[in-house]
Amino acid sequence: MKISKKTKFNLKMIKKTINDRLYDSILSKTNNFNDTKLDKKTLEEISKKLIDLVVEIDASSTQDSKAANTLENYLYTKVK
Amino acid sequence: MFIKSIKLNNFQCYYGKSHEVNFTKGLNIVTGSIASGKSKLFDAFYWVLNDKIYVTGKDWLPTKSLGITLINDKAKFESKSIDDLIETSVELVVISGNGPKTQPTEYTITRQLLITRKSMDDCFIDSTWSIANSTLSVESIDPKNFNLDKVYGIDAREKIEKLFPSKISPYIWFQGEALDKLIDFDNKGTLRKAIDYISYVPLYRSMNSIMTLVDNKISKTKRIEISKISGDAKLYNELSRLIEEKTDTIRNNKSFIEEKTKTLDAQKEKMEIIQKELSALAEFPKLNEEKIETENDISNINDDLERLDIHERKKFSSLWMLLGTKELLEKAEGKLFDFEEFRQLLIYKEYDLPEDVPGPVYLDKMLEQELCLICNRPAKKDSDEYKYIESRKNRKVKPEYLTPENEKIYSEVSSYKSRLRRILKSLAFVKDEIIEHRNNFEEKHNELSIYREKLVQIEDDIDTLYTKKGIDISDGAATHRNKDGEYQLLNITINNLNRKIEGAKASIRDAEMDIASNEKKSEKIQRTNTKTKIIEEEISKYTEYLVKQISEIEKSEYDNLIDQIESSANISFEDITSVNKTIDGNIKIDRNSFRVLNVDDSGRELKNYNTGHYTLMKMCIINAIISLTNDYKNTAYPFITDAPTSNLDEKATFAYLESISKTFDQSIVITKDISEDEIESIKNQNYIKGLFQLKIKNDTGNDKMNRTEAYSTITSLK
C-alpha cells in the first residue's frame, strides 16, 4: 500500500503532461500493446494522434466528428 | 497558479489600508496568537472570492446576513457625522497560466463593501448604517497584446470559477477547526465531485467517441468493398444492411445514454444538495411539530382547567351551601321521624279499645237488622244511630283522625322524608367529590407547568436554531416540507432515468449480439477474389482494438483515481506519522461509502484512532486531491488553510508543514501552533519560504485592547 521514498521522489520529479498521462494509461492497460499481434508502432502512433486530437478538442471545443475525419485520414496513411 | 498578494482595507479587525501581504512560492506561514486576526485573514481570502465567510456555530453566512460586522470597529467608531462613508475591501492578486505553453496572466480580484452613516445612534448597530451590496471586479492584462480587461458581477464570478473551480475549491481553502463541516467525507458526493473534476473520464469518453465514429465509418466502407468481391453479394449486402441498422441502434442508444446520464448526474447533484439542505433543516420540522403539539397540549389542559373551574364555580358553590344546611336537614329528618312515631302511637292508641266494644261481624249484623243489639233501639238506615254503628265498624282500619286530608299531608311528609334521605346521602359524598376535584385541578396544573417548561425549552432551541441558521422556525419547517416534496419527486425522476438507461443498455447488448451473429454469417460467404487486399479490413483491426481498450480504461478510471488518492494520501500520512509513534495504520477510502478509514496492513479497520488522528487522515486526503489535481490538470493550485494543525501535537505539526511544502507549489498556512520562541528557529528552515506574524495593537498605549482602538497588524519576517 505505501509507496517507498524512492518512488515518491520519482513521482515528484517527473511532471507529466495530460497527453503523457493518457498515453500511459493506454500502455498500462494493454501491457505496452503486448496483448495483441497488431503492429506496435502503428498502435503507438494512432494512440498518440488520437490523444493529441482529444486534448485539442478539450482546449478548443472542436467537434468530435471533425477530429474523427482527421483521424480517419491519418489511419489511411499509417495502416498499409 | 499562485497567490501574489492580498490587500485588506477596513476588513474586520484590519483597520485602514496598510495591510498588504506579499506571498512567495513554496510554503508561507502566517502565525499569530489567539485573537490576533488569523481567522479574519482566512475570511478575507474566502470573502473576496465567494462573498461569504464561515462563522463558527452558524455555518456559511453571506455578506448581506453579516450586516456591519465585516467592517472594522475602529473605523466605525471614528465616524463622527451623518453621511460618513466607510469602505471595506479585499484585493487578491493571482498569477495564473504559467504553464509550458501559456504565458502568465495577473488577475486582480477585488470585492468592496460600502456603508454610509444614516443616524448618530450606536455605531455598532446595523440600523445606524445604510449597507450597500458588495461589488466584485476582476481585472487582468492580456499577456499577448497587453489589453486591459475588467469585468464585474456575474462575469467576474465566471472568471473566478475558471480560476478556482467550485468542485475543487473546498480542498484549496479549508479551515482546520471546521474541517468536518466544510468537507464532509461521509457524504458520498463530496469526494465524488473532486474525483469528477480531476478525472480524465470526459477525455476517455471523447477518445472513445472519435474512435467509434472512425471504426463505424471504416467498417461500413470495408463491407462495401467486400461486397464487390463477395460470392453471394445479395446475402452479403443484406447482412451488411442489418449490421448497419444495429450499429445505428447502438449509436443512438449510446447518445441516448449519454444524454440521460448527464440529466441523471444533474438530478443526482440536485438530490445531494437537497439531501444536504434537508439534513441542515431537519431540526426545523421536528421542533416545529414539537412546538405545535406542546401548544395544543397546553391549550387542551387550559380547556380542562377552565371546564373544571366552571364546574367548581357552578356546582360546588351550591354544594357547599347545601352542605351548610346538613344540620338543619338532619334536624328536619328527626322531626319527621318524631311525627311518624307520634302518628303510629295514635294508631296504636286507636286499636287499644275496651273489651266490650263489639267487633265488626257483630256491628255488620246490627247494620243488617237496622237495630242496636246492645240497647235494642232501632237504627234505621241513614239515621244518626245507623251512621254511628257504621263509624264504629271502620274505626280500627282508619282511625278517626286519619281523614283523607290528614293522609295527604302524611303522604307529603313521607315523601319529604325520602327526599331528605337522598339529600343527606348525597351530602356524604360532597366532600369526597370536592377533594377529588381539587386533586384533578392540582394534577392539571402540574401537567400545565410541565408542558409550559417543555415549551420554554423548545422555544429556547428554536432561538438557538434561528441564531445558528438565521431562519424562522415556520419558514424552516415550510422549506423542509417543500424540499422533501422536491426530494420525493427527484427520486421518482432518478428511478425513471435509471430504468430508461438500463433499457438502452439492454438494447445495445442485443444489437451487439445481432451484429456478432451477422458478421459471422458474412465471414462464411466465400469471396470471388481472395487476392484483393481491402485496406479498411486492416484499419478496422486497429480501430476495433482501440475502441475496446479505451472503453475499458474509461470504466476503470474512477477506481484508478481513488487508488492514486489513497497512495498519495498514504505518502503524506507516512511522513507525518513517522514522528509520532502513537499513530499507525494506513488510509483507505471505502469504495462504496467513500468513507475514510484507518486500516492495518491486512486491510482491517483500526478502531482506536482519535479526532486528531482522523483529522490528519482527512488532511492527507485533501493534500492528495489537490496534488493530483495539480498533476492531472497541469495547473498548480495554491493551498490555503487556517488552523490545519489544531488537533496535532508539536512534532506532527512540523512534519505536516514539511510534508505540504513538498506537495504544493504554493501553500499558505495560517496557524497559532508556532510559539514566539519557535519563530527564530523556523525562520531558518529551508522548507519555509515566507513567514508572517500577526499581532494586535492599539495607538493609545493601553494594555487592555478595546474594540474601538485595537487592530491587527501583519509583519513580514521572512
Q: Nearest chain A residue to B218 by CA: give it.
A: A72
Look at the block and give the residue holding cell 328527626.
B334
B498-519 in b/e burial notation, b at 16+ Cβ within 10 A? eeebeebeebbeebeebbeebb
- Put simply, whether B367 touches A (Cβ < 8 Å) is no
The cell for B497 is 432515468
How many Å separate Cα B577 from the centre of its chain?
35
Q: Which of B283, B290, B289, B281 is nearest to B485 (CA)?
A: B281
Residues of chain A with pLDDT under 50: 1-14
Contact A79 B542 (CB under 8 A): yes
pLDDT of B394 > 90? The answer is no
Question: Lowest-pLDDT range, B19-28, B309-318, B485-494?
Answer: B309-318
pLDDT tens for each residue of B477-507: 888 899 999 999 999 999 999 999 999 999 9
Q: Measured between CB atoms, which of A1, A12, A18 is closest to B570?
A: A1
ipTM of the complex: 0.87
pLDDT classification of B93: cutoffs 50, 70, 90 = very high
Provide the shortest C-alpha distance from residue A2 to chain B (in Å). 6
List of residues 6+ apart from B497 with CB closer than 8 A: B260, B263, B264, B267
**pLDDT tens figures, B506-515:** 999 999 999 9
All cell numbers assigned to B58: 452558524
Query: Does the pLDDT at position B558 exceed 70?
Result: yes
pLDDT of residue B16: 84
| Residue of B549, B553, B573, B661 to mutate when probing chain A, most A C-beta within 10 A | B549
- B552 interface with A at CB cutoff 8 Å: yes
**Beta strand residue intervals within B37-104, DSSP E:** 52-55, 59-62, 85-96
With CB atoms and an 8 Å threshold, state whether A67 touches B631: no
**Nearest Cα to Cα of residue B250 among B506, B496, B549, B555:** B506
How confident is the model at residue A47, as a pLDDT? 95
Find the range with the poorest average confidence among B250-259, B286-295, B307-316, B361-370. B307-316
pLDDT score recorded for residue B463: 85
Q: Is the pTM of this model over 0.80?
A: no
Task: Measure the CA–CA gap between B151 and B158, rounded to whole angstroms.
Answer: 10
Say yes or no for a CB contact (<8 Å) between B207 and A3.
no
Chain segment B111-164, per-residue pLDDT in tens: 999 989 988 888 888 888 888 888 999 999 887 788 888 898 889 998 888 888
**C-alpha cell of B498?**
435509471
Q: What angle do CA B230, B232, B233 make, to 5 degrees?
A: 65
User: Number of A:B CB contacts under 8 A?
Assistant: 97
Q: What is the pLDDT of residues B329-377, one digit of tens each?
A: 888 888 888 888 887 777 776 555 555 567 777 888 889 999 988 888 8
Sign of the dihedral through C-alpha B668, B669, B675, B680: negative
Cβ distance B549 to A25 less than 8 Å, yes or no, reads: no
pLDDT for A39: 92
- Tell the burial category of B611 from Cβ atoms under 10 Å away from its Cβ (0-12, 13-18, 19+): exposed
Q: How far apart are CA B534 and CA B254, in angstroms?
A: 29
| pLDDT at B161 (0 to 100) | 87
The confidence score (pLDDT) of residue A7 equals: 41
Return the number of other C-beta atoms located less than 10 Å from residue B94's C-beta.
22
Rounded distance, CA B46 to CA B182, Å?
13
> Does the beta-carbon distance from A16 to B631 stay under 8 Å?
yes
Instruction: Give the residue on B whose Cα is nearest the Cα of A58.
Output: B203
Burial (CB < 10 A; 0-12, 13-18, 19+), residue B680, is exposed
Predicted confidence at residue B401, as pLDDT, reads 59
Task: Yes or no: say if B282 and B480 are a contact pair by the CB < 8 Å rule.
Answer: yes
Q: How far apart are CA B659 and CA B682, in angstroms?
A: 15
Site from B162, B209, B210 to mutate, A interface, most A CB atoms within 10 angstroms: B210
Cα–Cα distance measured from residue B174 to residue B638, given in angstroms and rounded to the nearest whole number: 12
pLDDT higher than threshold 80 for residue B569: yes
Name which of A8, A54, A80 is nearest B207 (Cβ-Cβ). Answer: A54
Kind and range of the H or E run holding B137: strand B135-141
Write out chain A residues lying below 8 Å of B631, CB-based. 15-16, 21
Helix, strand or coil, per DSSP, at residue B601: coil
